A = this chain, B = another copy of it.
Amino acid sequence: MTIKLCAEAFSPWAEIAEYERASLEAGAVGACANFIGSMRDNNEGDAVVAMTLEHYPGMTEGALETIEREAVAKWDLLGCVIVHRVGEVRVGEPIVLCACWSAHRKAAFESCRFLMEELKSRAPFWKKETLASGETRWVERNTPGY
C-alpha cells in the first residue's frame, strides 16, 4: 500500500511499473485496475488555463491511508497505490492515480472505483482554477461518480 503526494508532474505508468517491480509478485496478480484523473482545459463551459491544488498537509496523508485501509479490509487486494498532485498543475497533466492489484478482476475494479469516490469526497484537496479570462475561482463541487 502506497500513498504519495507530488508537488511536480508525475508519470502514472512509471509509478505503476515501480510499484509492480518493488512490491508485487507477478505470478500472483491476475488483475490491475487503475484510474488516472487529469487536468482538462475546460470546466463548466469555461476555458481553463491553470489550476492550483491546495491540500491540508498532515491530514491529507492520513485521510488517504484510511481510505486505502478500508479498501484492503473490504477486498482481497495484493496491492494498491494512490498518487495525488498538489500545487500548480498544467493542462493535460495527471492529478490523481489510483491503482489496485488483485488475483481477480472483480476486486480490482471495485476497489479502484471505491478509492476514487472516497478520495473525492473525503480527502482534503481543493482546486482553484484560472480561467482564460484571467479570473480565478474555486471548484465548488465534484461531478457525480455514480
Contact = CB atoms under 8 A, between A and B. Distances in A.
A37 B31 contact: yes
Interface string A75-95: 000000000000000011000
User: What secondary structure prevails in chain A residues at the interface with B?
Assistant: mixed
Interface stretch (A1-9, A56-64, A138-146): A138-146
Contacts of A42: 27-28
Of listed A27, A104, A112, residue having the most chain B CB within 10 A: A27
A33 B31 CA distance: 13
Contacts of A13: 13, 16-17
A55 B38 CA distance: 36
Interface residues of A, number: 35
A145 B30 CA distance: 13
16 contacts: A26-B91, A27-B39, A30-B38, A31-B37, A32-B38, A33-B33, A33-B112, A34-B35, A35-B105, A35-B108, A37-B105, A104-B143, A105-B116, A106-B144, A106-B146, A109-B113
Interface of A: 13, 16-17, 26-42, 91-92, 103-106, 108-109, 112-113, 116, 143-146
